[in-house]
Amino acid sequence: MRVLRIREHGGPEVIRPEDDPEPVPGPDEVVVDVTHVGMNHLDVWVRRGVPGHAFPLPLIPGADIAGVRRDTGERVVVHPAISCLRCPACLAGRQDLCRTFRIRGERTNGGCAERIVVPASQVLPADGLDPAEAAALPLAGLTAWHLLLGRARIQPGDRVVILGAAGGVGSLAVQIALLAGARVAAVASTPEKRAAVRALGAEHTWSPDEAVGGARAWTDRAGVDLVVDSAGGRSFLDGVAMLRWGGALATFGATGAAEVALDLRVLFFKQLTLLGCTMGTHAELQAMWGAVRAGRLRAVVDRVLPMSRIGSAHALLEGRSAIGKVVLEQDL
């Protein structure tokens, strides 16, 4: 079967098609014919490499997989991460804290292939869903769900600001915060992105330059309960400046700058909380998927490209021009 594989870090040209043997399912495993793979910013890090971090190359990329289960003919999506299911963290339901937690396409082979073998317990039903939208949801939806409901535990009436709200996680975070009864404002870089975020239900949208003043005005200078950031750098510090006394900032990425100069006096005087978030638990994925199946949560898909044009998908992600997700469709 055909697969895409990264053997060394570099530009989009390092993702090359190869022929692999057909995967053979073991006990309690199923074969999924891959129809769509959702792209995440993680894919850019895996391709480029991250200083000080070793990815287990060679690697088949692709965390978010939708396809057809060979034995039943059902449309499914695949859990984007694997954990040991035996350690104390896994047994306590915190698979996201498992020391062997690995995201598909990052620490173990992903879905940019004609077929993939996965544990039967790792597929979720996707019949009746648009398969490209389904492929856009698992990683971003789980990240947003865990961050807002598992980590920040937002409450009805809380004022939440989502930075980078037109991104894959951001657009889902806006919807999940609204489902939880929060009041939501959002920051996005272009008028088109801000219009897309308002269409999801955000009360206010601001450009990055007007965000701190906007958040102060929105709360009569009191500050907001929670800010969600994934860019780091200036964006993270702006987020801290928006918080009320006792507020929290949740971060799940550093796509802009990984290091910030934070004034610790602000942190302790205002009794702020910083929450680091990555992915989530099996129970949270099931709950998020329940909201998807009930039609309460939808992916914003910017466009669908043939899987063989994965380099163009990377260019869209690196150019930050996409509104919502970029999805690959099987053509290997």
Cβ nearer to Zn ion, comparing 98 with 169? 98
Cβ nearer to Zn ion, comparing 89 with 161? 89
**Least distance (Å) between residue 28 CB and Zn ion:** 17
| CA atoms within 13 A of residue 82's CA, in its CB half-sphere | 15
Compute the C-alpha angle 69/304/176, nearest 5°: 80
**Least distance (Å) between residue 90 CB and Zn ion:** 3
From 232, 265, 270, 264, select the one nearest 248 (Cα to Cα). Answer: 270
Cβ nearer to Zn ion, comparing 83 with 219? 83
Q: Does 222 contact Zn ion by CB under 5 A?
A: no
State how far the Cα of 222 lies from the Cα of 225, in Å rounded to an integer.
9
Cβ nearer to Zn ion, comparing 83 with 143? 83
Give how many residues touch Zn ion by CB under 5 A: 5
The residue assigned the tokens 């535990």 is 153
Cβ nearer to Zn ion, comparing 48 with 102? 102
* Helix intervals (H) in 100-167: 131-135, 138-145
Cβ nearer to Zn ion, comparing 90 with 227? 90
**Least distance (Å) between residue 55 CB and Zn ion:** 21
Rounded to the nearest 5 percent, the helix, strand and coil shares of the chain are: 35, 30, 40
| Contacting residues for 301 by C-beta, under 8 A, at least 6 apart | 132, 133, 136, 324, 325, 326, 327
For 123, 142, 186, 288, the CA distances from 292, given in Å and listed in that order, are 15, 11, 22, 6
**Least distance (Å) between residue 93 CB and Zn ion:** 11
Q: How many other C-beta atoms are found inside a 10 Å radius of the C-beta of residue 248?
A: 21
Cβ nearer to Zn ion, comparing 31 with 97? 97
**Least distance (Å) between residue 151 CB and Zn ion:** 19
Six-digit token pair at 310?
Answer: 């994965």
From 60, 44, 46, select the one nearest 317 (Cα to Cα). Answer: 44
The residue assigned the tokens 């898909």 is 301
Compute the C-alpha angle 91/94/99, nearest 5°: 85
State how far the Cα of 139 lies from the Cα of 167, in Å rounded to an integer.
13
Cβ nearer to Zn ion, comparing 101 with 236? 101
Interface positions, 42-101, toward Zn ion (CB under 5 A): 83-84, 87, 90, 98
Spatial strand order of the sheet with 273-276 comes to 204-206, 183-187, 159-163, 224-229, 243-251, 273-276
**Least distance (Å) between residue 95 CB and Zn ion:** 6
**Least distance (Å) between residue 84 CB and Zn ion:** 3
Cβ nearer to Zn ion, comparing 158 with 284? 284
Interface positions, 98-127, toward Zn ion (CB under 5 A): 98
**Least distance (Å) between residue 252 CB and Zn ion:** 21
DSSP state of 156: T
**Least distance (Å) between residue 132 CB and Zn ion:** 32
Site residues (vs Zn ion, CB under 5 A): 83-84, 87, 90, 98
